[in-house]
Homo-oligomer: A and B are copies of this chain.
Amino acid sequence: MMRWAIGIDLGGTAIKAAIVCEERGILSDRTLLTEAASGSTGIVGQLVALVADLYPLGCETLDPANFAGVGVGAPGAVDAERGVLSYPPNLPGWGVVHLRDELQKRLLEKEELSIPVFLDNDANAAAFGEAFYGAGREFHDFFMVTLGTGVGGGIILNRKLYRGTHGTAGEIGFMIIDFDGPNLHASIRGTLESFIGKKGIVDLALGMIAATPSVSILGKLCDNDFTTLSPLHLERAALEGDELSLAVWKRVGSILGVGLANVAALMDIRKFVIGGGIAAAGELIFNPALDQLRCSTLPSMHEGLELVPALLGNQAGIYGAAALCFGEP
């Protein structure tokens, strides 16, 4: 029996969807720009259209009897049991939406498709994807950190998603590591995201540039318009040996290590999978992160500490969403 599913990664900018075969991975995929302005009704319409496109395609080569359903990873707080999405940050005006039931209903009404739908948070879906198909395959328990515009997390315990009491577990971006400091993020002082989210990284670099303006090649890379400075510039400059950029990544890595140390102390999880666009900086981040993780934990917590890059890139969400339909990895 070769099960298959449709995985959907619903983001504020794009909706990615794919036919995922449990054993062979992604067979065919689609990407649409999110019609955010059309609200939840419009976007559910986009999801229906994607399923209506991919499902018959899957049935051409795979057995419809082995179809496990449609899985959706969505931003914001998700009650996976009830299939409810609340206030997704990048989908304005959504409020509280019964996304699972709504999608099921419209698939039935519009396409006469009676299909089970599974819903979870996008960070959870990405962690589940890595657990099933990626860097977490060998780990019994691990914590996945996604470094991008924001800093997110997903937790796998005992090869299952750990969602917490209300489905909001894993919000490592909101972990406070500098409670008395100047940084604010969503009105909370000193969060991890305030330091190593995209804006935090750029602000750190700008501060260092202001202190020693002439030593970096960053100005050249962004045509001396520092309002356009991005982590990509910092990555390129660091690869060319730019001292200032190297110092930025070293600090970003060690602050990440502080956050991971807190996960290790609190949850006794010692395996970390690091993904997201910023994680492309690779060793620039990973080495100082692991060093700091060791410095910031008791020796009795060092056994088994491991930091590995995510393997599925921006497809982790699709894989994980599909895997929601398959159950435990």
Chain A contact residues, CB within 8 Å of chain B: 77, 86-87, 140-141, 153, 163-172, 174-181, 186-190, 255, 258, 261-263, 265-270, 295-298, 300-301, 303-304
Residues on B with C-beta less than 8 A from A171 are: 265-266, 268, 298, 301
Q: List 10 A-B contacts (CB under 8 A).
A: A166-B270, A170-B266, A174-B297, A176-B261, A177-B178, A177-B190, A179-B258, A180-B181, A187-B295, A189-B296
Q: Residue A165 contacts which of B168, B265, B269 (CB distance < 8 angstroms)? A: B269
| Chain A binding surface, main DSSP class | loop
Residues on B with C-beta less than 8 A from A167 are: 268
The answer to whether A174 and B267 have CB atoms under 8 Å apart is: no
Q: Residue A267 contacts which of B176, B267, B295 (CB distance < 8 angstroms)? A: B267
In whole angstroms, how far apart are the Cα atoms of A216 and B174 in the complex?
A: 37
Would A166 and B265 be within 8 Å (CB), given that A174-B297, A255-B179 are in contact?
no
Q: Residue A262 contacts which of B163, B176, B300 (CB distance < 8 angstroms)? A: B176
In whole angstroms, how far apart are the Cα atoms of A298 and B267 in the complex?
A: 21
Would A165 and B180 be within 8 Å (CB), given that A188-B297, A263-B266, A267-B267 are in contact?
no
In whole angstroms, how far apart are the Cα atoms of A167 and B270 in the complex?
A: 12
